[in-house]
Structure formats: C-alpha cells, structure tokens
C-alpha cells in the first residue's frame, strides 16, 4: 500500500459530520433497495440529498438528476451505489464539479479511482456503508 492509498477510509467520522450536501449516484426509486433506504436515512439525519439516476424523475420526493454535472448546487460528498466498473467516470465527474469527498458503498471497490480522487485532493471512503458507519459513530 502506498502513501496515497493509506489515506483511504481515514477520518470517517469527520467525513460523516463535515459533508452534508450529498449526491447519491445510482439511487433507486424502489423503497426496498439499499440506495433508497440509505438516502432516506441520510435525509433523516439532516443532510441535503441530490438523487442521481438517469432512469428516474424523482426519488424520495426530490428531483432526480441524470448526472452530477446537472446538479445546480454545490455537492460536497458523492456517494456511489454503482458497480465497481462504473466508478472511474463518476469520480472524474465528481472532481470536475468540485466535490470534496467520494464514498464508495459496501462492495464498490476501485483502487485506481480512489487514487485519482485522492490525488485531486478529495477524501475517499471505499467499500463501506454510509449508514452503518454513521450508526457506529453517532
């Protein structure tokens, strides 16, 4: 593990507290899906959520965006619910829009995308569930 990779999954409690404007990429409009339930939990904790899924118009009574670039407000954290092979373009777009952190949900693993985000100055959490981590710390 190199110096950059040692920064993955550090400061999780700080990231959970600090970044409250969250884009949830790959969110589902189906209440039984993890992405829906976790985004709903994020809302209940007082966060601002921006659903991102080109196949949905609205999720959790919120406008759903086709991409990160479509979101008209600043995004601090990009929470990714996509298969690992789709992560790199999301991370590249997150860097372009000025996001501050990337959160790859449990089972989402892309070390190259994590390195790219870290090298661009973003904080990175990989292969962790936002809700579980939140419940562990708060």
Domain 5-137 class in CATH: alpha beta
pLDDT value for 2: 66
Residue 71 CA to residue 64 CA, distance in Å, equals 9
User: Which residues in 33-57 are b (16+ Cβ under 10 Å) and which e?
Assistant: eebbebbeebbeeebebbbbbeebe
Per-residue pLDDT tens for 10-46? 999 999 999 999 999 999 999 999 999 999 999 999 9
Backbone angles phi, psi at 73, to 5 degrees: -105, 165
Ranges of the chain with pLDDT below 50? none
pLDDT value for 1: 61
Cα of 127 vs its chain's centroid, Å: 11
pTM of the model: 0.96
Domain chopping of the chain, boundaries = 5-137
């Amino acid at each position: 593990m190199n110096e950059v990779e040692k920064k993955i999954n550090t400061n999780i409690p700080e990231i959970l507290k600090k970044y409250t404007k969250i884009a949830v990429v790959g969110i589902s409009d189906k209440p039984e899906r993890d992405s829906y339930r976790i985004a709903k939990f994020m809302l209940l904790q007082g966060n601002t959520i921006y659903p991102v899924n080109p196949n949905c118009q609205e999720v959790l009574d919120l406008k759903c965006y086709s991409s990160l670039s479509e979101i008209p407000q600043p995004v601090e954290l990009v929470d990714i619910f996509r298969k690992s092979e789709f992560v790199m373009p999301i991370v590249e777009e997150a860097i372009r829009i000025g996001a501050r952190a990337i959160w790859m949900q449990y089972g989402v693993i892309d070390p190259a995308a994590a390195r790219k985000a870290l090298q661009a100055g973003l904080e990175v959490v990989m292969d962790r569930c936002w809700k579980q981590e939140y419940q562990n710390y708060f």
